[in-house]
Amino acid sequence: MTEHGWPFLIGRAEHAGYRVVVVPDFMADAAAVDALSGAARDVRLPADTACVRELRGLECGPVTVVYRCFNPRADDYGLGGDELSDGFGRPIRVTEGVALRSAATGGLPEITIADLDRAHAAVAGAYRDFWQHERDYVRRTSAGRPLGNSAGSGEQPVHLEVAEPWSRPRAATAARGPAARQPAEHRRRPRRTAPAVGARWLL
């Protein structure tokens, strides 16, 4: 069975701040976009190595991201010129990779350097539009694409660096226990007793 990966990209433009520029189509809801942005943190690894991280607690089910981070050159996205920088002249970092609809603990298909290069090609046009339109850019979604060695292509596998799983933070109400989740009318109110002599209620 051929495995699929959904390309994604996180980056910034010269003036518009960091954001998810391309998101897998099954992660287009706001919660999943935030999860992707929070989980695919900046890493500094050799060019032939990618970070692997599992995302847990999403409505779309388990997701594993395989990604690389780098300082992009303008010609990586058909923009022309040297390394991209923000409005203050600081180098820009870009995160690119693929998302898989499976848990890392269940085993991953063999992902190749060519898979990540194809993911880059799939999102390059979107990043170019983001750079040109800045805050007017509308986030795009990506479709799943077959991964190389799952079809026996013989392509060079990418080395994988596994990060701790990312878990969706528990809601504040859940953290406070069952009583906090009860409707207000069902919660027990503390018994109000008469104040001691010389004391008064603070209203």
pTM over 0.85: no
Higher per-residue pLDDT: 20 or 198 = 20
Q: Within a 13 Å sphere around the CA of 5, how many CA atoms are in the beta-carbon half?
A: 30
pLDDT in tens, 107-125: 888 899 999 999 999 999 9
Beta-carbon contacts of residue 154 (< 8 Å; ≥ 6 apart): none
pLDDT in tens, 137-194: 999 999 999 997 655 567 899 999 999 999 987 763 344 455 444 444 444 444 444 4
